[in-house]
């Protein structure tokens, strides 16, 4: 009882009773093949989802990430069955789902607005789906009580949804989906209505819950933090197409395209020229006044224009003596820059630095007061070669 | 399409149909609902209107139609009708606006009373006003002759305009009041902050924003004016309008083709106005409904505005009060306005005597029709807002036709369509529902026409209620395994119960008070109160008519109360929700 009270206090989900809800057989493999959605139904209409191919392993947590209008929600809704694909197939464990109505698919969806039934109590909300299955009364009550206890909602079972806080409503929505023991959990931006701190807390709870239960989960979001922290793999989408499918780290460090690099985190792109053909996934380029050997995208070739991507937090700045800089004509160094602006963020200080290769954003973490530069200071821009990433120039789209 | 995707061996609970089946089966329960609704709509408005149009388009019908616009006598009737419509539209909108403005913007006592006065016509039969006006201001009027000794002639255009204005101004009042309330007062304040005086604010900000509402009200009242049948019959005198001409053609001359032709002439502008009101005015509306309560603006206390407006409101209100008091008292006196000795004879006749059959029949049929109309309205609203895509507009339109089509026209359509057995490809489907040989003495047709007339108000309430409910709530139900019909019953309907109550309530009130389509459908075997009232008025027994009116109003009020309690407490077991 004491444990329950403390969990209740923190609002955390009690994970001890979870084993009961664990799915043992590895089911819930989702395959999307050539999945396409055109609204309006004419061949000429722009596709909201354009020939998406995706294989999601049983038990995997996959995030669909992209800006609004990129087709991520349409993709999720086609998996759920709320939208009919114009072309292509949705498969669950190898069986085509296209003709199965959404209420017959063994999937549960958690909605952005929670979509709790306002006229039903918390208990009745959670019991709703089980009642439709005509499960015996006693077992139904037991299942509902168990999930309410797991989600720490037992004290609120008889309340109406509007009497709960946002986080509690979110947990009811999750409980209502979980109690159905779905093969696949679908999340449609479920955290975007919560405040920042609660969002982080719920995010961690969802991840722990999903790890323990092993339910295949597909999570739609436009928040890269959510995508990075939750997922086994991130699917970055843009204009209805998949830009990249990879682990969070790979998406961040080795983006497939300028779009991905730009959308996930922030990035500086420096014009660079290739000096030789790539060897072992790295290429020799000339950038910021130096010859460097930097990891590169497989499409990069010796005679293509290339871009050197560098994250702001990888850029280091070093103070340069004014007099030396003025008289440094003998030693022409293109890696010098001038501080244009300084922004103090608390944990970091961010600089816009003007260089010959364009304006570079540098983010320096936790500097002392003495280390902070002033505008118009001349600085040396240091880019560690192994933190860069070379992309083909053509990949830049505008 | 990708058909080459391998079909793995892993069995799943759901059957896996061939990947070549491109289209998903629509939810069977929704398909069934659509079919049922379509059949009902076809029965209650589609078939009668098609028959009417067919008859108007027949050789005889076309001959009459041609004469409508060529014969001087007919042209005068058309002119009369249009003039009446214009007068009622203009004066009714003006009165409605003054009432609404006073209610929303002025400071005075008695606002609830004013609101209540505007609600009475909804529950009162259409010619209560006409009969009372004759009693008060007619050739032997209690006021005109009794007090002033005049020999006033209230019959004709002046009487019609007074009566129709008093009957229909509440439509304009409700319409404009809603718009005034949703006007953001900060706009007025913004204008005032820029230096505009109150009058200037009114003419440059308030009024322009109300124009769609005013235009819409005018059009609605115009149609009510040209389509009304009861009042022209009672107080029209020699002033013949199209609806009374059509009535005469059908019931007096037994010339159904002519009736259809005259009806067609009313139908055209009525449907046109409906379309304009629905698709143009509503789009032009600049009033933004955000759903969040706007702060109330400072109420006006300036005498220069209050005195003229409140005087007008007072005069009209007094008239309304006197009229309905006459209805109430008239039932208790021997010959209203002439011999004012107290008697209970009229009520004895209505409640226990020969007249009681009408009371029982009418209430029974209205009680059958109201829940059907209410539920049907919700189902149509749900299909239109949520389930249908391309055909949504069509179903919505057909559902609203019962309101758009004038009652006279609908009644004649019913008489034409259901006088004979309904057949499809020679297979008899329905026995005759109207006329002397009608099944169940015409009561089926009456219930159908009740449903047709009262469906739209529920449908409209349902549509606007549904538009405020996030679709994800229904998708959540689907995601948890419910099919379309289950979702509708367990989630949607409880959430729009207020709209359902409105729908059923209006349906009952409308059914009880409707006359124009009923006149063409009553048979000796089924007596309807409204047409009995007309008969009593025709034969000069005003006392009986007033007693009928009072009883009818009382029944409507009691039943509305019971319906509200029943639906809220029993059907939904007191489950409500707050937003």
Report the alpha-carbon distance of residue B512 to residue B555 in Å, rounded: 9
Low-confidence ranges of chain B (pLDDT < 70): 1-26, 145-146, 149-151, 280-298, 436, 570-579
Report the alpha-carbon distance of residue A109 to residue A81 in Å, rounded: 11
Alpha helices in A18-105, H assignment, sequence order: 72-80
Q: What is the pTM of this model?
A: 0.78
Residue A240 backbone zone (phi > 0: left; psi -120 to 50: alpha; other: beta) = left
Residue B93 backbone zone (phi > 0: left; psi -120 to 50: alpha; other: beta) = alpha
Report the alpha-carbon distance of residue B114 to residue A138 in Å, rounded: 56
Contact B577 A119 (CB under 8 A): yes
Contact B22 A98 (CB under 8 A): yes
The verdict on B479 touching A (C-beta cutoff 8 Å) is yes
Q: Reply yes or no on whether the pLDDT at A396 is more than 90.
A: no
Task: Find, among A318, A294, A299, A305, the residue nearest to A387 by Cα.
Answer: A294
User: Which residues partner with B523 through β-bridges?
Assistant: B526
Write out residues 484-513 of B within 8 Å (CB-CB) of A: 486, 490-491, 494-495
Tokens of A29: 């493999």
Contacts of B19 in chain A (CB under 8 A): 89, 96, 98
Least confident of A37-41, A116-120, B227-231: A37-41
Predicted local confidence at residue B564, as pLDDT:
79
Contact A160 B21 (CB under 8 A): no
**What is the number of other CB atoms lying within 10 angstroms of the CB of residue B141?**
20
Sign of CA dihedral A320, A321, A322, A326: negative
Predicted local confidence at residue A249, as pLDDT:
93
Predicted local confidence at residue A18, as pLDDT:
59
Shortest Cα distance, chain A CAs vs residue B493, angstroms:
11
Predicted local confidence at residue A56, as pLDDT:
94
Task: Find, among B42, B50, B6, B1, the residue nearest to B409 by Cα.
Answer: B50
Contact A129 B481 (CB under 8 A): yes
Tokens of B361: 């029949």
User: CA torsion, points B180, B181, B183, B185, in degrees to nearest 10?
Assistant: 110
Contact A132 B486 (CB under 8 A): yes
**Is 0.90 exceeded by the ipTM?**
no
For residue range B108-158, what is the model confidence (pLDDT) as tens digits? 888 888 888 887 877 788 778 888 888 888 777 777 766 776 667 778 888
| Nearest Cβ partner for A89 among B2, B24, B572 | B2
Tokens of B548: 């009928």
Contact B2 A87 (CB under 8 A): yes
Query: Region A112-119: what's the mean pLDDT?
Result: 88
Contacts of B577 in chain A (CB under 8 A): 118-119, 160, 162
Contacts of B1 in chain A (CB under 8 A): 34, 87-88
| Nearest Cβ partner for A99 among B13, B25, B490 | B25
Tokens of A120: 């039903």
**What is the number of other CB atoms lying within 10 angstroms of the CB of residue A192?**
14
User: CA torsion, points B409, B411, B412, B414, in degrees to nearest 10?
Assistant: 120
Tokens of A11: 């609002």
More confident residue, B440 or A160: A160
Report the alpha-carbon distance of residue B199 to residue B185 in Å, rounded: 15
Predicted local confidence at residue B146, as pLDDT:
66
Contact B14 A105 (CB under 8 A): yes
Report the alpha-carbon distance of residue B501 to residue B377 in Å, rounded: 11
**What is the number of other CB atoms lying within 10 angstroms of the CB of residue B57?**
14
Contacts of A160 in chain B (CB under 8 A): 577-578
Predicted local confidence at residue B26, as pLDDT:
60
For residue range A42-94, what is the model confidence (pLDDT) as tens digits? 666 678 999 999 999 999 999 999 998 899 999 999 999 998 899 999 999 98
User: CA torsion, points A47, A53, A56, A62, in degrees to nearest 10?
Assistant: -40
Predicted local confidence at residue B343, as pLDDT:
81
Three-state SS string across A91-148, please? Answer: EECCEECCCCCHHHCCEEEECCCCCCCCCCCHHHHHHHHHHHCCCCHHHHHHHHHHHH
Least confident of A135-149, A157-171, A277-291, B188-202: B188-202
Report the alpha-carbon distance of residue B370 to residue B559 in Å, rounded: 11
Tokens of A328: 């440094």
The verdict on B2 touching A (C-beta cutoff 8 Å) is yes
Task: Find, among B286, B96, B84, B60, the residue nearest to B172 by Cα.
Answer: B96
Predicted local confidence at residue A234, as pLDDT:
95
Tokens of B56: 């108007």
Contacts of A129 in chain B (CB under 8 A): 480-482
Contact A113 B479 (CB under 8 A): no
Tell me the count of A-B CB pairs closer than 8 A. Answer: 139
Predicted local confidence at residue B376, as pLDDT:
93
Contact A94 B24 (CB under 8 A): no
Report the alpha-carbon distance of residue A195 to residue A176 in Å, rounded: 22
């Amino acid at each position: 009882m004491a444990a329950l009270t403390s969990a209740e206090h923190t609002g955390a989900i009690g994970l001890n009773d979870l084993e009961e809800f664990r799915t043992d057989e590895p089911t819930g493999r989702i395959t999307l093949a050539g999945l396409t959605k055109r609204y309006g139904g004419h061949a000429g209409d722009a596709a909201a989802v354009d020939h998406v191919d995706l294989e999601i392993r049983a038990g995997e947590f996959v995030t669909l990430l992209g800006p609004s209008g990129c087709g991520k929600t349409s993709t999720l809704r086609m998996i759920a069955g709320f939208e009919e694909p114009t072309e292509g197939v949705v498969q669950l464990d190898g069986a085509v789902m296209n003709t199965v109505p959404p209420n017959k698919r063994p999937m549960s969806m958690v909605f952005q607005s929670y979509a709790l039934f306002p006229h039903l109590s918390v208990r009745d909300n959670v019991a709703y789906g089980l009642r439709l299955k005509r499960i015996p009364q006693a077992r139904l009550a037991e299942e509902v009580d168990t999930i309410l206890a797991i989600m720490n909602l037992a004290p609120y079972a008889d309340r109406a949804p509007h009497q709960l806080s946002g986080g509690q409503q979110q947990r009811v929505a999750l409980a209502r989906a979980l109690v159905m023991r779905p093969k696949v959990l679908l999340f449609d931006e479920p955290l975007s209505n919560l405040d920042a701190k609660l969002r982080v807390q719920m995010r961690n709870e969802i991840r722990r819950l999903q790890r323990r239960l092993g339910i295949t989960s597909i999570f739609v979001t436009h928040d890269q933090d959510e995508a990075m922290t939750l997922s086994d793999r991130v699917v970055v989408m843009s204009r209805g197409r998949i830009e990249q499918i990879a682990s969070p780290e790979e998406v961040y460090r080795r983006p497939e395209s300028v779009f991905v690099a730009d959308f996930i985190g922030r990035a500086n792109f420096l014009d660079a020229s290739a000096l030789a053909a790539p060897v072992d996934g790295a290429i020799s380029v000339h950038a910021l006044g130096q010859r460097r050997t930097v990891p590169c995208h497989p499409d990069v070739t010796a005679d293509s224009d290339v871009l050197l991507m560098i994250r702001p937090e990888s850029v280091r700045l070093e103070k340069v003596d004014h007099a030396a800089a003025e008289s440094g004509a003998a030693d022409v160094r293109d890696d010098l820059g001038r501080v244009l602006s300084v922004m103090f963020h608390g944990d970091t200080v961010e600089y816009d630095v003007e260089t010959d290769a364009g304006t570079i954003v540098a983010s320096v973490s936790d500097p002392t007061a003495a280390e902070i530069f002033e505008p118009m200071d001349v600085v040396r821009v240091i880019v560690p070669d192994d933190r860069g990433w070379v992309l083909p120039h053509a990949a830049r789209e505008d | 399409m990708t058909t080459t995707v391998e079909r793995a061996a892993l069995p799943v609970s759901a059957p896996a149909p061939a990947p070549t089946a491109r289209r998903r089966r629509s939810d069977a329960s929704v398909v069934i609902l659509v079919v049922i609704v379509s059949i009902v709509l076809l029965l209650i408005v589609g078939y009668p209107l098609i028959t009417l149009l067919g008859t108007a388009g027949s050789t005889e019908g076309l001959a009459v139609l041609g004469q409508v616009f060529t014969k001087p006598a007919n042209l005068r009737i058309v002119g009369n009708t249009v003039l009446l419509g214009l007068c009622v539209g203009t004066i009714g909108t003006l009165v409605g606006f003054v009432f609404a403005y006073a209610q929303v913007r002025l400071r005075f006592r008695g606002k609830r009373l004013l609101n209540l006065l505007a609600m009475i016509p909804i529950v009162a039969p259409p010619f209560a006003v006409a009969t009372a006006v004759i009693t008060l201001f007619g050739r032997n009027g209690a006021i005109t002759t009794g007090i002033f000794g005049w020999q006033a002639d209230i019959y004709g255009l002046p009487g019609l305009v007074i009566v129709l204005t008093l009957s229909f101004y509440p439509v304009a009042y409700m319409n404009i009041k809603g718009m005034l309330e949703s006007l953001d007062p900060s706009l007025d304040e913004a204008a005032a902050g820029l230096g505009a005086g109150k009058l200037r604010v009114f003419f440059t900000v308030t009024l322009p924003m109300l124009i769609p509402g005013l235009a819409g009200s005018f059009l609605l009242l115009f149609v009510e004016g040209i389509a009304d049948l009861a009042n022209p019959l009672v107080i029209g005198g020699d002033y013949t309008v199209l609806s009374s001409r059509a009535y005469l053609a059908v019931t007096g001359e037994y010339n159904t083709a002519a009736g259809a032709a005259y009806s067609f002439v009313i139908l055209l502008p009525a449907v046109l106005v409906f379309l304009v009101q629905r698709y143009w005015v509503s789009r032009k509306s600049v009033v933004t409904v955000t759903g969040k309560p706007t702060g109330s603006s400072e109420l006006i206390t300036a005498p220069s505005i209050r005195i003229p407006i409140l005087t007008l409101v007072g005069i009209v209100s007094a008239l309304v009060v006197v009229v309905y008091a006459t209805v109430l008292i008239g039932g208790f006196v021997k010959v209203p306005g002439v011999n004012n000795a107290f008697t209970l004879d009229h009520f004895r006749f209505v409640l226990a005597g020969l007249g009681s059959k009408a009371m029982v029949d009418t209430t029974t049929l209205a009680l059958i029709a109201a829940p059907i109309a209410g539920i049907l309205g919700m189902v149509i609203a749900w299909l239109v807002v949520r389930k249908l895509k391309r055909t949504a507009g069509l179903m919505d339109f057909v559902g609203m036709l019962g309101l758009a089509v004038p009652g006279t026209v609908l009644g004649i359509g019913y008489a034409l369509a259901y006088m004979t057995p309904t057949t499809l490809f020679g297979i008899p489907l329905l026995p005759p529902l109207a006329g002397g040989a009608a099944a169940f003495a015409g009561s089926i047709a009456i219930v159908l026409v009740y449903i047709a007339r009262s469906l739209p108000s529920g449908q409209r309430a349902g549509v606007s209620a549904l538009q405020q409910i996030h679709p994800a709530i229904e998708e959540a139900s689907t995601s948890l395994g419910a099919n379309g019909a289950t979702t509708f019953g367990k989630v949607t309907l409880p959430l729009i119960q207020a709209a359902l109550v409105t729908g059923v309530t209006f349906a009952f009130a409308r059914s009880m008070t409707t006359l124009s389509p009923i006149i063409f459908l009553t048979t000796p075997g089924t007596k309807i109160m409204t047409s009995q009232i007309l008969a009593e008025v025709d034969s000069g027994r005003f006392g009986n008519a007033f007693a009928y009116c009072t009883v009818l109003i009382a029944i409507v009020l009691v039943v509305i109360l019971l319906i509200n309690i029943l639906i809220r407490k029993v059907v939904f077991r007191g489950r409500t929700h707050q937003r």
